[in-house]
């Protein structure tokens, strides 16, 4: 069922409260190698508005242990589909104010299409399979964020490959 | 003995985040039987775990279904659809 | 024929010799706003191996004036297709050694799919429409890089939208 | 008067990067006629701009074709397929 992480893919997965530094993560991925041709990164941030309400902050809850397992499984699947040289996934938990970073996915490959595909694939499955939950601080109180149908729809294209 | 966890809105609905169930494995062979036992406790559990509600279940940190077998020592978690990223 | 840049899209396009700093570009794009939900970035780098030869460095030539026009046209087209909040494109020219940065494309949007699509679209058209040419320093001398058929094929999917 | 530019491998093949053509617009109404005149110069130009070669042409920094009209003051550029990014 579950595939192993491809031997050529250097993987770093972390779930933590602290913010991340994109330059530092990029430098760590590139350190000592000159064979990377393409790096695609995705950062998800706290928006000040969601579903019609103004948001001051949100609190991210997760399921410790399962989160890391789920992320590892998603990254392994991506590493089996495309020739990825490196993958870094950092997801923050705890209280995050508007404009704060939530998640970083960084994917390196020799060629751009593998980097783009790997990064999008990981984000798409992270959105539906990794056990994180957002609770928003709105003007009218706390509100759990509803899962979006479009996130489930987004997965369908990966079945065609 | 098994550990049951509840997360996010489902945790708030049932009022606890974690409990140990002391039971004979034979009486709870699968996820469906555990759900039946939990829902019989009170209306909070009955409603939170109603079949019409859109919840998820994991056994030992892997996504599971009603039919998934459970054993003594397992960790079973109930939670709403995920919303990270 | 040519569409204008969408009014909500803050655009920065630069062709230059100097390296870029991803964190600084990201911070500039985010400054003073809390409505960005997703940032997709792409970095292209000089690989030490291409088409079977080892590469020490490459020289990037371009057509000053037309390069900026072509990039602006590509970014405008992306801004018309997706709700983009910000786009930064920096392409380096001159001599670049192995592992050096070549190009940065940074795209911000409220939602991830627009950010990913915008970034990929811009890279795909940059590869075929922006007048840059690479000359590699290989073990056996200088060699102009050939255009790749796969880059032309990559454009086809954008016709289907 | 028009400016003609050559880039990358095509620049190396013809041996110059830029030239001013002093001509009456009527004698060079379009890109095709300019190409014919340039190819008539010598074998370097004839080969570099041969129809079998995979080159591109831009007029005033926009991609153009054989049929594109040209006028006095225009900037015409010849170059191989691009390879940036």
Mean pLDDT, residues D48-76 taken together: 95
Using a CB-CB cut-off of 8 Å, the residues of chain D touching C135 are 8
pLDDT digits (tens, 9 = 90+) for A60-75: 999 999 999 999 999 9
From the list D81, D82, D17, the residue with the least C-alpha distance to D54 is D81
DSSP three-state, residue A40: strand
Residue of C nearest to A105 (CA): C40
Interface of A with C in 2-21 (CB under 8 A): 21
Contact call for C133 and D80, based on CB within 8 A: yes
Query: Can you name the residues that pair with C8 across neighbouring β-strands?
Result: none
Q: How far is C30 from chain D (nearest CA, A)?
A: 24
Q: Is A35 on the interface with B (CB under 8 A)?
A: no
pLDDT digits (tens, 9 = 90+) for A77-127: 999 999 999 999 999 999 999 999 999 999 999 999 999 999 999 999 999
For the cut 80, the answer to whether the pLDDT of residue B23 exceeds it is no
- The token duo for D14 is 């013809």
For the cut 60, the answer to whether the pLDDT of residue C161 exceeds it is no
DSSP three-state, residue C17: coil
Count of residues making up chain C: 161
Mean pLDDT, residues C118-144 taken together: 96
Q: Do chains D and B meet with 3 or more Cβ pairs nearer than 8 Å?
A: no
CA distance C78 to C117: 9
Contact call for A33 and C99, based on CB within 8 A: yes
What's the pLDDT at D22? 84
pLDDT digits (tens, 9 = 90+) for D23-46: 766 788 999 999 999 999 999 999
Among C65, C103, C131, beta carbon nearest to D7 = C131
Q: Pinpoint the alpha helices (H) of A3-148.
A: 22-30, 66-81, 112-129
A34 to B31, C12, C47: CA distances (angstroms): 50, 28, 6
C69 or B25, higher pLDDT: C69
Q: Are strands C84-92 and C10-16 parallel, antiparallel or unpaired?
A: parallel
pLDDT digits (tens, 9 = 90+) for C22-54: 999 999 999 999 999 999 999 999 999 888 889
Q: Is D32 on the interface with C (CB under 8 A)?
A: no
Residue of D nearest to C69 (CA): D61
pLDDT digits (tens, 9 = 90+) for C69-95: 999 999 999 999 999 999 999 999 999
What's the pLDDT at A42? 98
Q: How confident is the model at residue C100 (pLDDT cuts 50, 70, 90)?
A: very high
Q: How far is C132 from chain A (nearest CA, A)?
A: 17
- The token duo for C144 is 């102009």
From the list A135, A125, A92, A50, the residue with the least C-alpha distance to B79 is A135
Q: Do chains B and A meet with 3 or more Cβ pairs nearer than 8 Å?
A: yes
Residue of C nearest to D75 (CA): C66
Contact call for A39 and C33, based on CB within 8 A: no
Contact call for B85 and A69, based on CB within 8 A: no
pTM: 0.95
Contact call for D83 and C129, based on CB within 8 A: no
Residue of A nearest to C98 (CA): A34
Mean pLDDT, residues B34-53 taken together: 96
Count of residues making up chain B: 85
Q: What average pLDDT does chain A have?
A: 95
For the cut 60, the answer to whether the pLDDT of residue C2 exceeds it is yes
For the cut 80, the answer to whether the pLDDT of residue A1 exceeds it is no
DSSP three-state, residue B60: coil
What's the pLDDT at A160? 65
From the list C23, C12, C37, the residue with the least C-alpha distance to A26 is C23
Q: How confident is the model at residue C159 (pLDDT cuts 50, 70, 90)?
A: confident
Q: How far is C47 from chain A (nearest CA, A)?
A: 5
Chain C interface test: which of A28, A29, A33, A39 (most C C-beta within 10 Å) = A39
For the cut 70, the answer to whether the pLDDT of residue A4 exceeds it is yes
């Amino acid at each position: 069922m579950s595939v192993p992480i491809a031997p050529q893919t250097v993987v770093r997965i972390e779930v933590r409260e602290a913010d991340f530094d994109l330059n530092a993560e990029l430098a760590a991925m590139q350190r000592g190698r000159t064979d990377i041709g393409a790096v695609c990164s995705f950062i998800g941030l706290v928006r000040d508005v969601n579903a019609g309400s103004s948001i001051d902050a949100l609190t991210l809850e997760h399921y410790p242990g399962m989160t890391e397992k789920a992320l590892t499984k998603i990254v392994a699947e991506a590493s089996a589909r495309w020739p990825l040289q490196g993958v870094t996934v950092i997801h923050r938990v705890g209280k995050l104010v508007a404009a704060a970073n939530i998640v970083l996915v960084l994917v390196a490959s020799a060629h751009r299409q593998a980097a783009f595909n790997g990064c999008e694939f990981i984000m798409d499955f992270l959105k539906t399979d990794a056990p994180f939950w957002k609770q928003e601080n709105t003007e009218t109180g706390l509100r759990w964020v509803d899962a979006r149908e479009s996130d489930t729809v987004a997965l369908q294209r990966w079945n065609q490959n | 003995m098994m550990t049951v966890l509840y997360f996010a809105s489902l945790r708030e609905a049932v009022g606890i985040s974690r409990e140990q169930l002391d039971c004979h494995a034979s009486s709870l062979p699968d996820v469906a039987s555990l759900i039946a036992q939990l829902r019989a406790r009170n209306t909070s559990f009955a409603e939170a775990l109603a079949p019409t509600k859109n919840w998820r279940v994991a056994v030992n940190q892997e996504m599971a279904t009603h039919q998934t077998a459970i054993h003594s020592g397992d960790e079973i978690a109930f939670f709403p659809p995920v919303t990270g990223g």
